[in-house]
Chains A and B, each alone.
Chain A
Amino acid sequence: MDGTAGAPYLGIRHLTKRFGQFTALDDVSLDVYAREFVVFLGPSGCGKTTLLRAIAGLDIQTAGTIHQGGRDVSALPPAERDFGIVFQSYALFPNLTVDANVGYGLVSRGKPKAEVRARVAELLALVGLPDAGPKYPAQLSGGQQQRVALARALAISPGLLLLDEPLSALDARVRQHLRQELRDLQRKLGITTIMVTHDQEEALALADRIVVMNHGVIDQVGTPTEIYRTPASPFVADFVGTMNFLDASVSGPGIVAVGGRRFRVDELNGLTPGTAALVCIRPEDVKTRNVEPGAENALEVEVRSLEFLGSFARARLAASDGAGPDLVADLSINLLRDLKVEAGTCFLVSLPADRLRIYPKTP
């Protein structure tokens, strides 16, 4: 999706939200473009839900502005904004049938009955529940309830769809299935969507762009690949996927020292020689096959332990000479078989220079 051109659909400028002494959002600015699927990702308490609720007008920010579709909505109550919302609890009305739930917003707009009925049927078909109409929410499974909540939010054809952890109350299998459906539906309708989640896998699978948040500020905004490949901070690197963090210092142009060893890195991230740094590499980026002795960034390691994870195994490795560093690397099942790797085995690995990321070390 190349949506990030032209005027943004949603413009958030210098948003700050305080609850008494606590600052939940600290000067947050963000643009969301039309038809985009944006995911707010972060640990609990990072401010992602606060930001979503500010966009909805449910908890209006202390300072800063929000423009939606060219209109200043900063101070407007929810009823005067244009959005549909699905909550983690779904908040389906238990005493109304699925039909009445989905049609709830339509009926009160005085639409003729036949029109409401047709629209409700259309929406239920859209979310894959064409026959659920006469049932009550309690008679549906969690995943079905989630779809009804989605249909209800979409009923009034909002310009913006807000999803607050919509999948987190479901079990893993249903979650994966619904994730895909949600993505397809969003593409099909082309509705600008913002979702809040603490599940990085979900964010990587769904988002056009991910907004990683921590302590009330945005750490990084980018496509899933950007976020995964080039995390902007150790926090992002740690929160999204698994990462090796090695204590290091910059010893020269393109060279870092880890323990007693020197490694070449492509990108020094603007650090000058002598500074303390963190060098990072993903477990799957550690090169484990065909490493010749004396190759660049090669070192001999001993397998400390193996954790079998199905299609691959995660290995805890330690430099054979005891001079560090310790590493976690993903070993394919093929490799295990070919090299007869087991705890105690020694072999050569290398840390490819283009896969090493380096960050200033903050105490």
Chain B
Amino acid sequence: MTTTTAPLIRPKASRDDLIMRACLALFALWLLVVVALPLWTLLSKSFQDQSGAFIGLSNYLRYVETPALFQSFWNSLFVAAVTTAIVVPLAFVYAYALTRSCMRLKPVFQGLALIPILAPSLLPAISLIYLFGNQGLLKGWLFGQPVYGAVGIITAQVFYCFPHAMMILVTALSMADQRLYESADALGASRLRVFLTVTLPGVKYGLISTAFVIFTLVITDFGIAKVVGGRFNVLATDIYKQVIGQQNFEMGAVVGVILLVPALLSFAVDRMVARRQVAQLSARAVPFEPKPHKTRDLALTAFCLVIGLTILGVFAVSVWASFITFWPYNLTLTLKNYAFGDFDPLGWGVYLNSLIMASATAVFGTAIVFTGAYLVEKSKGFGFGRGAVHLLAMIPLAVPGLVLGLSYIFFFNMRGNPLGVLYGTMALLVINTIAHFYTVSHLTALTALKQLDAEFEAVSASLKVPVWRTFFRITVPICLPAILDVAIYLFVNAMTTVSAVIFLYSSETKPAALAIVNMDESGFTAGAAGMATVIVATSATVKLAQLGLSRLLSRTQAWRKR
């Protein structure tokens, strides 16, 4: 080993390094303020009494000992478990048809299954009320049972969760190695045996991950339980009742912390699964190409047709109902349900609020997310700062919107917090929404950045070009499609989200999705359906615009052609 005592070298940081480190520090601070500190306040609140004194686990004990509260814990678990058990097999077959069969019209089927993503979770619930509620068209189908309660929640959740499950499973199923199937064929394995020994093991992690994601989605969703829950209490509605109804913030915090548990668990499992998934597909793998098989393809087409049309039907019901004069007695068409001023003091103003909020979230959120991801991926040295920012950016994935919203109440209302001026403003709604959907955006940006040549920055440095110039001139233009993805993702989610902002809006800043909740609460179901339709139309337009725009990018930017 070394015998000479050569001087140890302390690398001198360049101006670029210093700028990037300063930005990283700013980012860490930003994520600390919008994610970590609010959650910390929530956590400490759950151990305090109303005067703010520390009382240990008393709140938790009281929670467990109050049957009315603890019952909803079991209710939530029940609803989530049943929904997961229904959604995962359905979505698996659907995804299997999309990836492993020679079914025709795959893009159409994929599009049909994705419809629910464009709407607030409230929409399928509203449709259920129109179909099976007290004045429901198909009320008889339930043999006199009311739709309000577990049945309604589970049915609506199945629709709402279906696209999420399908997307994960499509990804998992498309990672298949043709050679494995050819070997199995060559060895004379039966179709069933191939399915059990090759297909299923290959998507095992995808299935686990899906199950946890769906479970968490159901447990943390607020809108559906609010609309069709009736007297069937779940955690998500409890938190709302405790905080908004009874002003019992401490108990709200306890329910919030309990809500965090399944989400954290699912997050941990997903991380674990993601790590194992890496080795699944080597660079040498041959992509799987399904071969035609008449009976299988026909059966799968029939299945997808039933599911796809049901989804379309459920959504169409709300759209249709929103144009109906008096459901179900006077089915003549009308536009009166779109005179939102009759149901809400802000009228169409809520829609304007939503547009402002979604646009601001998309613009500022994308800028912040992309810059943050760039700093994490490309800055040199300062490993601690990079690690901290990345970790903080991963937290929101594990935090249900309701919990984040509640934490914001606590944090931004705290006495002495100078950021308190933001409370009740549109700015806070935007900040909250960016934080709520930060992780997926961050990961999308990170994936795009990882695909860039790692030496762009080194080349720039050798040419003495400052890093910010290369960022704007090279990195951003190349990543434009991913940047567009992030912006649209943030916009659509900001349009449809209910859970986090429900604690944070004021009478002037109320967004459209919340107006739906209010209208439904006051019995204006048709108005609610109308507003939901407007939101769906907006999200769909934006999605279509994205498609057109990315086509345009690949056509007008000559260098993208290969």
A interface vs B, CB < 8 Å? 13-16, 23, 26-27, 56-58, 60-65, 74-81, 83-85, 87, 89, 91, 93-96, 104-105, 108-109, 136-138, 152-153, 155-156, 158
Q: Which residue of B lies closest to A61 (CB)?
A: B9
- Is B474 in the interface zone, CB < 8 Å from A? yes
- Asked whether, in the complex, the Cβ of A78 is within 8 Å of the Cβ of B456, the reply is no
Q: Which residue of A lies closest to B562 (CB)?
A: A138
- Is B51 in the interface zone, CB < 8 Å from A? no
- Asked whether, in the complex, the Cβ of B10 is within 8 Å of the Cβ of A75, the reply is yes
Complex partner residue of A76 from B4, B12, B459, CB under 8 angstroms:
B12
Q: How far is the CA of A65 from the CA of B10 in the complex (A)?
A: 11
Which chain A residues lie closer than 8 Å to B2 at the CB level?
14, 16, 26-27, 63
Find the residue from B4, B456, B463 having the highest chain A CB count within 10 A. Answer: B463
Contacts A23-B1, A91-B456, A138-B559 given; indicate if A74 touches B9 (C-beta within 8 A). yes
| Minimum C-beta distance from A139 to chain B (A) | 8
- Asked whether, in the complex, the Cβ of B9 is within 8 Å of the Cβ of A84, the reply is no
Complex partner residue of B458 from A23, A85, A152, CB under 8 angstroms:
A85
| Minimum C-beta distance from B159 to chain A (A) | 42
- Asked whether, in the complex, the Cβ of A91 is within 8 Å of the Cβ of B453, the reply is yes
Q: Which residue of B lies closest to A75 (CB)?
A: B12
- Asked whether, in the complex, the Cβ of A136 is within 8 Å of the Cβ of B453, the reply is no
Those of B239-262 within 8 Å (CB) of chain A:
none
Contacts A60-B11, A93-B474, A136-B558 given; indicate if A108 touches B466 (C-beta within 8 A). yes
Which chain A residues lie closer than 8 Å to B12 at the CB level?
75-77, 80
- Is B427 in the interface zone, CB < 8 Å from A? no
Q: Which residue of B lies closest to A86 (CB)?
A: B459
Q: How far is the CA of A87 from the CA of B458 in the complex (A)?
A: 10
- Asked whether, in the complex, the Cβ of A94 is within 8 Å of the Cβ of B559, the reply is yes
Which chain A residues lie closer than 8 Å to B460 at the CB level?
104
Find the residue from A64, A83, A84 having the highest chain B CB count within 10 A. Answer: A64
How many residues on chain B are close to A (CB under 8 Å)? 38
- Asked whether, in the complex, the Cβ of A108 is within 8 Å of the Cβ of B4, the reply is no
B interface vs A, CB < 8 Å? 1-4, 6-17, 453, 455-456, 458-466, 469, 473-474, 477-478, 557-559, 561-562
| Minimum C-beta distance from A87 to chain B (A) | 5
Q: How far is the CA of A62 from the CA of B2 in the complex (A)?
A: 12
Which chain B residues lie closer than 8 Å to A137 at the CB level?
559
- Asked whether, in the complex, the Cβ of B464 is within 8 Å of the Cβ of A89, the reply is no
Contacts A91-B459, A93-B456, A108-B469 given; indicate if A79 touches B559 (C-beta within 8 A). no
Complex partner residue of A79 from B10, B464, B478, CB under 8 angstroms:
B464
Find the residue from A15, A79, A89 having the highest chain B CB count within 10 A. Answer: A79
Q: Which residue of B lies closest to A136 (CB)?
A: B559
Which chain B residues lie closer than 8 Å to A94 at the CB level?
478, 559
Which chain B residues lie closer than 8 Å to A95 at the CB level?
474, 477-478, 557, 559
| Minimum C-beta distance from B446 to chain A (A) | 19
Q: Which residue of A lies closest to B10 (CB)?
A: A75
Complex partner residue of A89 from B3, B6, B455, B559, CB under 8 angstroms:
B455
- Asked whether, in the complex, the Cβ of B478 is within 8 Å of the Cβ of A13, the reply is no
- Asked whether, in the complex, the Cβ of A80 is within 8 Å of the Cβ of B458, the reply is no
- Asked whether, in the complex, the Cβ of A65 is within 8 Å of the Cβ of B462, the reply is no
- Asked whether, in the complex, the Cβ of A79 is within 8 Å of the Cβ of B6, the reply is no
| Minimum C-beta distance from B98 to chain A (A) | 31
Q: How far is the CA of A95 from the CA of B558 in the complex (A)?
A: 8
| Minimum C-beta distance from B250 to chain A (A) | 47
Which chain A residues lie closer than 8 Å to B455 at the CB level?
87, 89, 91
| Minimum C-beta distance from B380 to chain A (A) | 9
- Asked whether, in the complex, the Cβ of B6 is within 8 Å of the Cβ of A16, the reply is yes
Q: How far is the CA of A283 from the CA of B152 in the complex (A)?
A: 84
Per CB-CB distance, the 6 closest pairs between chain A and chain B, nearest first, are A105-B463, A77-B14, A14-B6, A78-B461, A91-B455, A136-B559
Q: Which residue of B lies closest to A54 (CB)?
A: B9
- Asked whether, in the complex, the Cβ of A79 is within 8 Å of the Cβ of B456, the reply is no
Which chain B residues lie closer than 8 Å to A89 at the CB level?
453, 455
Q: How far is the CA of A89 from the CA of B451 in the complex (A)?
A: 13
Complex partner residue of A27 from B3, B458, B559, CB under 8 angstroms:
B3
